Structure 1
Amino acid sequence: MEVTEKVETVEQNRLKFFPVMMYAIVMGLCGLTIMYQKAVSVLGFSEWIAFGLMGVSTFVFALISVVYMIKFFTYQEAVKKEFMHPVRINFFAAISISMLMLAIIYKEHYEGVAAVFWYAGVVLHFYLTMYTISFWINHNQELAHSNPAWLIPVVGNVLVPIGGVGFASQGVLLYFFSIGIFFWLVLFAILLNRIIFHHQLAIKFMPTLFILIAPPAVGFLAYFKMFGVVDLFANILFDLALFFTLLIAFLYKNFLKIKFFISWWAFVFPLAAMGISSMIMYSQTHDIFTLIFSYVMVAVTTAMIGVVIYQTVLHMQKGEICIQE
């Protein structure tokens, strides 16, 4: 009897500490799915891989959403505390970003499903963007709390145009694109100042450095989706994404011995975005470098997600995930 009650208490505690950061898993899987979907048309990959990943991404999104909803109704104070946390607040936008990415995944094959995900994702992301910026204005932020995850809620707006062509006017899509690009520049300046002139990032947030790749890479994808050209501005965005990818590769020693955290999933989505950008660049320019780089990014992203999935499962078995920090 006591053993049963103890097990139930442990499970309840895990539910209480189930972090909203778990949606980073969905972002990573969706990024991998979109990358393989693009590889079907550009690199000649089998479409069955992409279809399989589509199912996995959707299932994981549904599973995490159900668990977090149960947490919401069971431990509302814990969710409220997370929503008011200066760092965790940024990861709530991962919910809407996951929806927007699922819309991109389904757009080509099931437009009706894509529309449901896109409209719901846009409404939620609009609210989270406004709420997060209001939170920053109304509460003094400590420089020590700043990290690349700050880019998720506001710069995530650049994702809206990628799946939104055909669902909204060009003016609406440009509105979200403009917000994302503007705040990318502003927040990047703040983050660079913090990283160079102040204390280093906490170890658990080191993987979020990969997020620096995402804004220019996703910005390039959104710009191309809206205008269908690779002009000077598109090239600047692509080259900046390439620069940050090479910079992260140059800093590889910083990531070799970090202890596993769910934030490791921050590795995957930016790498996938860079892989997709490379394939689009190759399709437009037929530059052999971008072709080789596309294959490299597909291989690296696939290997990385394999490592992260293994570590996630391993630490779940050890009971080291969903615990109080």
Structure 2
Amino acid sequence: MEMIIEEKNRLKFFPVMMYAIVMGLSGLTITYQKAAIWLNFPHIIGEILMYVTTAVFIAVSYIYLKKFFKYKVAVKNEFSHPVRINFFAAISISMLMLAIIYKESYPAISAVFWYPGTLLHFYLTMHTIAFWINENQQLDHSNPAWFIPIVGNVLVPVAGVGFVNLGLLMYFFSVGMFFWIILFAVILNRIIFHNQMAVKFVPTLFILIAPPAVGFIAYFKMFGVIDVFALMLFNMAVFFTLLVAFMYKNFIKLKFFISWWAFVFPLAAMAISSMLMYHERECLPLLLLSYFMVGVVTIVILIVAYQTLLHMKKKEICIKE
């Protein structure tokens, strides 16, 4: 009887942040898909990861829907929480990334993920900004996770080319790039002049890499050129990657939280950006950077996945905070 009650309680505390796992696995999948095309890696790795990522998305969605129907108040509380509200966009971003994964091989399946994912992300963007305006926000609540619902708009054009016209894709790209600059100024102010972030949100510093890296990919997808603006985005992605590498001591002794999955997606975006730049420029430093980043993404996700499974076994995930 106690075990049944415990399992029910764990369902109640199943966090929407679990979709960060799907984001991380999606990033790894796309990394190996592109590595197969541009670096001659075996295609089978990306194909296996595609099915694994899809299965994890379905599993996480099933469990969270189960939570929604059994514990609607708990879901409502998450949706009105000043920090957790940002992670609801991980649902739509997971769908958009699955659309990217399936785009080349199965465009029909890609469309099944892209259209509802885009509509959901449009709603979550509007809802989140309205929430920020209507509710008083404390500066201590700000962290790089704020980028997820807003700058996630930049992902829409990556898989959207061919589904809708360029003008609509430019809308999402413009919104994402504009709020990247605005939110980065807010978060940098908070980090430098105010209290340090809670330990569990330190991994979200890696999210700083994602906006310029994904922005670079989206810009190239839409226009097919490496111009001054594209180079600026790529170089900013390189800068933030070097910055978090320089700050490695901040991360090596962190206690495990599910937010560790925030490490993976931005690193994968950097790996894909590096491979894309190498494909266009074909110079040795970019080739070496591409191999290095693929290796880093692989090692990091193995560590994070192992820690996730270990803490699941210990029943230290999905507990009341």
> TM-score band, normalised by the shorter chain?
over 0.9
CA deviation profile, 1:144-173 (whole Å, cap 9, x unmatched): 100000000000000000000000100000
Q: CA deviation at 1:287?
A: 1.7
Q: Which residue is equivalent to 1:261?
A: 257
DSSP 3-state at the match of 1:257: coil
Counterpart for residue 283 of structure 1: 279
Q: Deviations over 1:187-220 (max 9, x none)?
A: 0000000000001111000000000000000000
Q: Report the counterpart of residue 178 of structure 1 in structure 2.
A: 174
| Equivalent AA in structure 2 for residue 178 of structure 1 | S
Q: Residue 218 of structure 1 aligns to which amino acid in structure 2?
A: V
Report whether the alignment pairs 1:231 with 2:222.
Answer: no
1:104 paired with 2:104, answer: no
User: What's 1:218 paired with?
Assistant: 214
1:118 corresponds to 2:114: yes
SS in 2 for 1:183: helix
Q: Any residues of structure 2 matched to 1:32-111 within 5 Å, and which?
A: 32-111=28-107
- In structure 1, the partner of 2:193 is 197
| Cα distance in 2 between the residues matched to 1:194 and 1:310 | 32
User: What residue in structure 2 maps to residue 252 of structure 1?
Assistant: 248
Which letter does structure 2 place at the counterpart of 1:249? A
SS at match of 2:151: helix
* Distance (Å, rounded) in 1 between the aligned partners of 2:286 and 2:211: 19
Q: TM-score, normalised by structure 2?
A: 1.00
Runs of 4 or more above 2 Å deviation? none
Aligned residue number for residue 139 of structure 1: 135
The counterpart of 2:290, out of the listed 289, 294, 298, is: 294
Counting only pairs closer than 5 Å after superposition, residues 146-161 of structure 1 correspond to structure 2 as: 146-161=142-157
Q: Please state if 1:30 is matched with 2:22.
A: no
SS where residue 22 of structure 1 aligns? helix
Once the two structures are TM-superposed, the CA of residue 233 in structure 1 deviates from its matched residue by 0.2
Question: Which digits, 9 at most, give the CA deviation of each residue in 1:72-92, with x for residues without a partner?
Answer: 000000000000000000000
2:40 is paired with a residue of what secondary structure? coil
| AA aligned opposite 2:14 | F
Q: Tell me the matched-pair count.
A: 321
Identity of aligned residues (%): 68
What is the CA distance between 1:288 and its match in structure 2? 1.0
Extract unaligned runs of 5+ from structure 2.
none
| In 1, Cα distance between equivalents of 2:169 and 2:122 | 12
Structure 2 CA distance for aligned equivalents of residues 167 and 56 of structure 1: 25
Residue 7 of structure 2 is matched in structure 1 by 11
CA distance, structure 1, for counterparts of residue 62 and residue 292 of structure 2: 36
Distance of 1:6 and 1:89 partners within structure 2: 31
Distance 1:13 1:289 in 2: 51
Give unpaired runs (5+ residues) of structure 1.
Answer: none
